[in-house]
Structure 1
Amino acid sequence: MSAPEYMIDSRDGRIGEVMGHVGGYVQLRPPGGGREWDCPPEALTPAPPGEVLRARVRELNRQARLP
């Protein structure tokens, strides 16, 4: 099994794990899980490992604050 691929949606700066390709779009999901979104491939750039780690930590912190 290969490691997940993470990309940055340059339209809004969100980082997402590549989940698949549908209808000419790339489907992304936030690093900690959540709702997927579609992004045109030309708006994607590879996410550096440090950015992915920061996004995952933010999500874990957000989950810890939920009631």
Structure 2
Amino acid sequence: MDLKRNQITLAQLMADPKAKAVLQRRFGPYLKHPMAKAAGSLTLAQLMEMGAVYLPQKTIQETVRELSAL
């Protein structure tokens, strides 16, 4: 999948069934939060930066690699 140099948005990722499955498997509880819809316009780069506060860097890197491989 072309992540557009991490400028792809969460909404664009969620619109792709395979990418959505990856994100739901890894971050299901976060995606159910009411703020997740509001985060749709955030880019992957922004989400990675914000997620680094809560998630191990390894988890973020593995997720990006998995999305890139789609």
Return the TM-score normalized by structure 2. Answer: 0.29
Higher RCO, Cα 8 Å, sep 6+: 2
The higher radius of gyration belongs to 1
Which structure: greater helix fraction?
A: 2
More strand by share: 1
TM-score by length of 1: 0.29
